[in-house]
Structure 1
């Protein structure tokens, strides 16, 4: 069953937080494929999430989709499919985000993996077992030849020596088996006691699952079940772990893994994520699980700082940030998009996206009138009007004070401008790191 967070009136957050989600750039770049703009969501979600950036051709691009062999990247020229083997690295940037889509991540189980240790033991035991089997076959052949000789020629004086040799070699094989078993136990004990560090106290961990420290672990496996009341395409899960590397004076290190999922819906889907090549004895201290689909991140029951908001509450938060950030400023009305713009692109024709929209906005940010010409004599097309369902406005400002104002725009130009702004901001942020 899908577990939605309980509805409650959100607390007022720091204005700087909402400035970060004001007209989110990630929203304006994505190209989702479901939930038409005419279907008004009953609630919105505000949460802390991550932007996943993949390095390709020397630049970082936002990941908007994934399958087993490739990633869909948002580039300057549009969505580009890139083989995973050509990705040169990942960068995650955490911040406040909004979503109208919800998913539940349930039945989470985590277990350590002893990849290198198990491989070492397997190779040792495989090599030894092969040698033992070969020598056992040779001994069986010697026993057979001895029995045939005795049945044909009778027991001879030299047979005693041969029987003794066969018995001694059988004992050596058993002793070798005991030595291998003892070595395996001692090797495990050495690794467990090698660094002398104790596990991090459970009270210091930030994990969405139960996990026991394993001094032999050099990998982590996470299993979960995911479902969503919405139809989600190109879904992928990311796991970001922070751990202590006991080999480097308990240095805090981050590990990241991206797991393609495909389509998601109401039917629960099992997902397994494995993080390999971790240092032996790593001490897990934090694990963040984020879910993406339809070109953007989804809110989930695991999302940190999750709030359930009505559309009006979400708008009021944006408005508070807008007014705070523009104290003393004079500027025309500003546009706020409370839905995924790709929905508009799907619902409207290129000509409709190019239509001029003249809007008169009052000092409270409410629409006084919408028209297709500056004389307000021609109405905008019904389909365009329906697509504006999720377009809201901030009022004009005069010396920081809200006043009535006019704004003219085209949806196509609006989306293009925001896409370029997002790309410019992304390049600046990644170059500064």
Structure 2
């Protein structure tokens, strides 16, 4: 098979993996020394495909052959899809060629499992090691870790990759046992623990070799089972706490050709994936707990964002006096972001906050109006009941149904 034909198959096969963002990558500058490529702490450059998709990494699978038969995966053993496989040298050549053409700034590499987990992981490590040591490649490298691989190979991967990721696949062990019985939650968490320990050792010893300096991430498929958002967020909170994750990525289940009867034949609303990302951001950056965002079984509202939902359920905390409240509480006001909250606190050291200050800060005035007070403003609709206030803030959207 020609290299271009392999690329068509294996780039398309990689599109289902969402966890390839490069934010947080450390600076790898080649200035003043021999080397190819560079990245920085705010991410890497982007290019655009003819159909308008924004891409920045060469995102491919080494192969879409796989020993496993995960029911939600298009590349499962029993799937009737075209198969291809890159050699290690072909991946290296593609990465360098695309970089020199200024098409990419780095590599995101994953793979189906062939021969064995260790055999596959060793090949992935060899790609990164060769790029770094033989070609002095300083661009971004993200390796998808094979959970069943040996800890020694995972530790080697961390020496050459900017970020490692291990997909937890599904929200619960019960779903994993049903839809991917050849995979094990214990092995997945074990691989995540190996990466966590490597990160900790590198932090503890300043002279130690860098280990996955952009941390680790994971991905979870949403909607392939009946697990609700309350369970998902609780599990995600534990993952952040236990494994030092940088990010959890959510991927709405996408029905695939000839799907088995164990998975749905229709996709969940994409807005559900979006709400989970919003809730995840509130947990990571605003200090919300999972049980605050959903205090009982069920899913996040599709009509309103999780922050507004929390505010409507906790009207006893509002309205917030912006001249007195602490930063954490100001940031919980719908329509005020964390950076705006910090600017409000800095400004009030000089004078009282005025309503127009919020306009200049670019806050969402419609959302925040019922929830704040300033020296020159008192909300007129603070007395509305939740149903009426919710209807005012989030009227039914005039849009086509989500598929």
Greater strand share, 1 or 2? 1
Tell me if TM exceeds 0.5.
no
Coarse TM-score class (shorter-chain normalised): under 0.3
TM score, norm. by length of structure 1 = 0.20
Give the number of the structure with larger relative contact order, counting CA–CA contacts within 8 Å between residues 6 or more apart: 1
* Higher Cα radius of gyration: 1
